[in-house]
Amino acid sequence: MTDKTVPRRPTLDLRSFTPARVALGRSGASLPTKPLLDFTLDHARARDAVHAAFDAPLLVAGISALDLVVSEVRSRVADRRDYLRRPDLGRQLDAGSAEALALGATKPCQLAIVIGDGLSAAAVHVHAVALVKSLLPLLAADNGVAIDHVVVASGARVALGDEIGAILGACMVVMLIGERPGLSAPDSLGAYLTFAPKPGLTDAERNCVSNIHHAGLSYDEAAFKVAWLVREGLAREVTGVALKDESGDPPARIGTIPPE
Q: Is the pLDDT of residue 255 over 50?
A: no
For 34-145, list the strands marked E by DSSP. 70-74, 109-116
Q: Is the pLDDT of residue 254 over 90?
A: no
**Per-residue pLDDT tens for 24-79?**
878 888 888 888 888 888 888 888 888 888 999 999 999 999 999 899 999 999 99
Angle between helices 121-140 and 56-64 (to 10 degrees): 20
**Predicted local distance difference test score (pLDDT) of residue 205:** 96
Burial string for 133-169 (b: 16+ CB within 10 Å, else e) reads ebbbebbeeeebbebbbbbbbbbbbbbbbbbbbbbbb
Q: How much is the pTM?
A: 0.85
142 versus 174: the higher-pLDDT residue is: 174
Separation between Cα atoms, residue 192 and residue 190, nearest integer Å? 7
Q: Is the pLDDT of residue 219 over 80?
A: yes
User: What are the φ and ψ backbone dihedral angles of 40, each rounded to 5 degrees?
Assistant: -60, -40
Percentage of the chain lying above the pLDDT 70 cut? 90
- Size (the chain), residues: 260
Q: Which amino acid type is present at position 175? A: M
Instruction: Fill in the DSSP letter of residue 184.
Output: S
Domains of the chain: 54-242 (3.40.50.11240)
Burial class for 234, CB neighbours closer than 10 Å (0-12, 13-18, 19+): middle
Smallest Cα–Cα separation from 110: which of 196, 171, 198, 193?
A: 171
Smallest Cα–Cα separation from 226: which of 202, 257, 256, 247?
A: 247
